[in-house]
């Protein structure tokens, strides 16, 4: 059974940083695509970033480019999202997702989801 567990959310002031972690278990995720999504109150869930374990290609939403960095530790089967220069509009529940597909991107099917972690950025 695939499980994704996010951690690292919290309250931070605008301009601050947070690092989210996504610990994956239930299978080896090498060669599969993984991503981060977020959902703010009253809004639809939106793509944030994605990458493929195989090849290391990364993708970012325009709203986070240059501020967020997605990375992984293959030995720990863990994915990270380093978030710098945070803005109040980054406030949302952040979800980790994994796909059965190899090529990453915002529009592929993500089959597995974590429970989410709250990120709140105060102004």
User: pLDDT tens digits, residue range 43-84?
Assistant: 999 999 998 877 678 999 999 999 999 998 888 989 999 999
* pLDDT of 123 over the 90 cut: yes
Tell me the C-alpha to C-alpha distance, in Å, between residue 99 and each of 49, 60, 79, 86, 89.
13, 17, 13, 27, 27
What does the longest C-alpha to C-alpha distance in the chain come to? 40
pLDDT > 70 fraction of the chain, expressed in percent and rounded: 97
pLDDT at 27: 76
* pLDDT of 28 over the 80 cut: no
Residue 42 to residue 19: CA distance in whole angstroms: 24
How many other CB atoms sit within 10 Å of the CB of residue 30? 11
Is beta strand 10-13 parallel, antiparallel or unpaired with respect to 117-122? parallel
Residue 111 to residue 1: CA distance in whole angstroms: 12
> Which position has the higher pLDDT, 68 or 27?
68
């Amino acid at each position: 059974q695939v499980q994704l567990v996010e951690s690292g959310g919290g309250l931070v002031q605008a301009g601050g940083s947070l690092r989210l972690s996504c610990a994956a278990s239930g299978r080896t995720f090498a060669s599969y695509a993984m991503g981060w999504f977020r959902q703010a109150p009253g809004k639809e869930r939106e793509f944030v970033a994605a990458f493929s374990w195989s090849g290391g290609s990364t993708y970012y939403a325009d709203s986070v480019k240059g501020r967020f960095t997605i990375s992984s530790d293959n030995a720990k089967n863990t994915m990270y999202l380093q978030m710098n220069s945070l803005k109040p509009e980054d406030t949302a529940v952040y979800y980790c997702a994994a796909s059965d597909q190899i090529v990453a991107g915002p529009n592929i099917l993500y089959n597995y989801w974590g429970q989410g972690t709250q990120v709140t950025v105060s102004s």
